[in-house]
Amino acid sequence: MACTPAHKLSPERKILPILRALERRYGVPRRRLWDPLEVLVHGVLSQNTTDVNADRAYDKLTRSFGTWEAVASASQKAVERAIRESGLAAQKASTIKAVMRWLRKRGEYSLEFLRPGQAEQIESELTSIKGVGIKTARLVALFGFGRPLFVVDTHVLRVTMRLGLIPDGCTRHKAHLLLDRLVPNEKKYSGHLGMIWHGRRTCRARRPLCDACAVRRWCVFVSRPK
């Protein structure tokens, strides 16, 4: 009886071999945590732009105001000017100001009060803020608090769709739910980063380097008739 080709395996049978192959190619990232509020603000700035632009905008924001209290007290226009390099400055400044108002009501410009909470509670609290979506909330949970929640960005969405781990045309919200169930908790950190690196270096949106792909054998995209 013939074996099922790797690209036709179910997502449940594919996922671990794929994650191990990505770790062999890109290495196992060392786990570290960042300040949760920094992760939240940077996550807002990273929407629909490059990491370079988000980093520049974050650096200018923190240099311009110095403290989160100062950001909270500043006008939205002043925040917009500081983060212009990230793009969508008006929308992102509105979200950052909403975050600061939310924290001001709590009496502290910190997210440490969320640290005892479960992953789902952290996500729920943060997505209650206008402009903060599931991806940004999960970035905070994963990189700020070390909670096992899988995060889907543009690269992860593309890679997992091409690998047949999620359906074609899957929304970002649905992808979060599907992949959170599919990826084991102990692989959520390395899996998220490995898929981002793979999406940037190999499985690019345009002209993907399929011949150099570490997970080619499981890929639905490359196996389709051209």
d(CA 221, CA 89): 35
Q: How many helices (H) and strands (E) does the chain have?
A: 13, 0
Residues 135, 174, 187, 188: which is the catalytic one? 135
Q: Among this protein's residues, is 14 annotated catalytic?
A: no
* Contact present, 103 and 109 (Cβ < 8 Å): yes
DSSP string, 49-85: S-HHHHHHHHHHHHHHHSSHHHHHHS-HHHHHHHTGG
Of the candidates 59, 83, 18, the one whose C-alpha atom is nearest the C-alpha of residue 214 is 18
Report, as residue numbers or ranges, the catalytic residues.
Answer: 135
